[in-house]
Structure 1
């Protein structure tokens, strides 16, 4: 009798505990997902703000943010402000979203290409790489070919630099935990130099690639920003270097800024 009674009590206790654990886990998951959506919307948040928004204690908000940080969904800057991390940035660049960008922005690529008579690409960030998702080829016999579908290191392309420049310092560091990857040609090898170039790109509103991704190719890139001030992609003009003296870069940048601003308004 004692053994039978003990068995029922133990079994009941385990079931009750399991049910409680499941409820607690579901609540934690729900709070974590709500927090991810919130950070994606507001782009920066403190522990106290997260706690208030979620209706939880500061300790709970801090634990959730710590877990998200461990998975690279958020990064924390020097002022203890949490911002979107690499994992969240990558989720914002899903295949469906890339198809939307192609449909919405192709005409802007086409118009820009016609004005400059050169190849124009649309790119999105994938980790520390940049994927070419659409493009319009220039009309000259000597031209830069389309790279649609190709992934290149972001730090050696004009569009990639424009995308990296939109990241916070901590999010940028998270993409390069062991420094810049080795590449061929004239690509940057110093993270410090890259950081300085990105600061310049943020100030100017565009980035350059002078034969860094491939010898014989010069490019300029600008970010595309949606209505929520999220950088969702980049547009770049790529030109054979023999047809692009330094004096022509200003002309290309002017046309690209016009096109990328128009594309951003479309978003």
Structure 2
């Protein structure tokens, strides 16, 4: 069995984690107020203000005249509040909350950047034993449910370029077995969903479906994650049906907001 990809540090520093998560939000989503950052981090407004002030001091953030904080020059992204990731997250969040109410398991919204998958939204369920929020975390795309679904949208040529051996010269162990990956992606295209049994993290099972634009291109993935002890293969069909309904609702809201 593969070892977990993400192991929390033995001595986590909350202030550093808050700063890094805030920088990621500003970089990917374009901008946020103190209140929005406080809500996202689950901290007091005063704490969020101190985090943002330090990011401004180090040029990771800038503050507009309208008191909105945006990515600074260090982050090197000309993002704005209506970026695709921001619109995706805004469209998806209400539906993620609804599916958590329905299934009582943690749900996620994931996008792909190159050979990585980034969790841009997570809504935790209320169960005592649950999968925690992965928001802001990055995993190899071929090791996550939604990452596989988004890779399945690529042509063979695009897949070859993405996983060209020279790109992995310094980390050959990170390069997937392409023939095996192609066979898996072919099956995912046929099924329209993906199941991840402890592939990204031990003791975790995830099921996901793609979110597509009006042209049919996969923009993101919606997944539900649960402890493997609670996964029942006999529930897979209704689980996928619920996820597909969620994905269609996100697509509709995204089109209306365009």
How high is the TM-score relative to the length of structure 1?
0.60
1:136 lines up with 2:127 in the alignment: no
Question: CA 1:161–1:94 in structure 2 vs 1: closer, same or farther (change >3 Å)?
Answer: farther
Q: Aligned to 1:182, what secondary structure does the other structure show?
A: helix
Q: Aligned to 2:173, what secondary structure does the other structure show?
A: coil
Q: Aligned to 2:159, what secondary structure does the other structure show?
A: helix
Question: CA 1:94–1:182 in structure 2 vs 1: closer, same or farther (change >3 Å)?
Answer: farther
Question: Offset at 1:170?
Answer: 1.1
1:99 match: 86
Q: Aligned to 1:253, what secondary structure does the other structure show?
A: helix
Give the number of equivalent residue pairs: 172
Question: Offset at 1:246?
Answer: 2.3
1:201 match: 188
Contact 2:111 2:117 in 1 (8 A): yes
Distance 2:80 2:105 in 1: 28
Q: Aligned to 1:260, what secondary structure does the other structure show?
A: helix
Instruction: Tell me which of the two structures has the higher relative contact order, counting C-alpha pairs closer than 8 angstroms and 6 or more residues apart.
Output: 2
How high is the TM-score relative to the length of structure 2?
0.62
Please point out which of 202, 211, 214 is paired with 1:215. 202
1:225 match: 212
2:68 match: none
1:172 lines up with 2:163 in the alignment: no
Contact 2:89 2:120 in 1 (8 A): yes
1:81 match: none
Contact 1:217 1:240 in 2 (8 A): yes
Distance 2:227 2:139 in 1: 18
1:259 match: 246
Distance 1:198 1:264 in 2: 22
Which runs of 5 or more residues in structure 1 are unaligned? 1-90
Question: CA 1:181–1:157 in structure 2 vs 1: closer, same or farther (change >3 Å)?
Answer: farther
- The alignment yields a C-alpha RMSD, in angstroms, of 2.3
1:11 match: none
Question: Offset at 1:94?
Answer: 9.0
Superimposed CA distance per residue, residues 152-190 of structure 1 (whole angstroms, 9 cap, x where no aligned partner): 00101111111111111111121111279636xxxx952
1:20 match: none
Question: Offset at 1:127?
Answer: 0.6
Contact 2:142 2:176 in 1 (8 A): no
